[in-house]
Structure 1
């Protein structure tokens, strides 16, 4: 575990950062940062990459992560901002905002896959970080559950689109709904599949 090495080196307050919602064509991009009280705690033994967990298990672990954190920060980036700035730029900016939103400043930051340029705190981008660093796994759970809850709420506002089931990803059902009922304000118009339906 990467955190074990950092703790042995005398570093504390290690922040993990991850996002949810890069791929969907609807809904926000959500980025979470979290500093765990003790990354090696047995209470966190079930925490792993959110993609490897069921929706029910993620919901249960959401509270476990929060209860075992010193501080956490979850931020949303709107579809409009994604359309304006581009997905990758928003992802990096989102990570920066999430880290800066932590009440306690971290001594070290671990991110999943992408470094954060311009961050004054030492940071390391970890390949498949949500699978090898528990702090990143914990952040991935916070981001995923938070975003899923948003999409379930949006499903009530837009009941014809199936948002609660596909969470804004491009599916046949979603595509057919857009063709039938139109593009929504929550759709990312810079995404090729949405742009094609606007013409």
Structure 2
């Protein structure tokens, strides 16, 4: 199968081209938290309506406030959407790449409407039971993937804010579990907590230091 996307097609260009090719229900899927050393990996899948959602963009290019404003519009207007989380222990057991692909697969499987085509951000995902296309920087070039990136990011940020109340000294509400200088200083001082990914070198190192 082949289709042509014009350079000026905009964020909805892939979805329009796929509909012209007979794929009416296009799901986009993306994850948040792959690069964090604490907290879950979160993946979302979204099937958007044909009418565009204004202001939709790659979640990384939006402010937290803008993502929060778009979240209810996406979830209310989507033809279907889903979100899944992979806990730190499973991320450690699977390895991050396998965990990432598994999260994307689970998000698509959880949709209550079966898509005709799936656009995935970054990695090809087998076992979807439907045609799919892996896209480099898909959240920046395809509307459904951008919508999924916002759902995944907002969901994970809320989870990490909740964890900040449970583990206040780590300031998870500030760095969201990513490997910032602030986060590392807390790790070095206190060692890891229950939601840290033990397979990460910077976490394993502090575990050994606290045991010595």
TM-score (ref. length: structure 2): 0.90
Instruction: Provide the rounded CA distance (Å) in 1 between the counterparts of 2:170 and 2:36.
Output: 13
Alignment match, 1:61: 70
Contact 2:122 2:137 in 1 (8 A): yes
Instruction: Provide the rounded CA distance (Å) in 1 between the counterparts of 2:164 and 2:120.
Output: 30
Give 1:170's match in structure 2, choosing from 175, 179, 193: 179
Alignment match, 2:37: 25
Q: Secondary structure at the match of 2:22?
A: coil
Give 2:87's match in structure 1, choosing from 78, 91, 94: 78
Instruction: Provide the rounded CA distance (Å) in 2 between the counterparts of 1:170 and 1:113.
Output: 21
TM-score (ref. length: structure 1): 0.96
Q: Which has the higher contact order (CA 8 A, sep 6+)?
A: 1
Q: Secondary structure at the match of 1:155?
A: helix
C-alpha offsets along residues 147-176 of structure 1, whole Å, 9 cap, x if unaligned? 000000000001101110100011121112
Q: Secondary structure at the match of 2:23?
A: coil
Unaligned regions of 5+ residues in structure 2, if any?
A: 1-12
Aligned-residue CA RMSD (Å): 0.9
Q: Secondary structure at the match of 1:150?
A: helix
Give 1:183's match in structure 2, choosing from 187, 192, 195: 192
Alignment match, 1:35: 47
User: Looking at CA atoms only, which structure, 1 or 2, has the larger radius of gyration?
Assistant: 2
**108-117 or 140-149: which moved more?**
108-117
Q: Secondary structure at the match of 1:180?
A: helix
* Moved beyond 3 Å, runs of 4+: none
Matches within 5 A, 1:109-128: 109-128=118-137
**14-23 or 168-177: which moved more?**
168-177
**181-190 or 135-144: which moved more?**
181-190
Unaligned regions of 5+ residues in structure 1, if any?
A: none
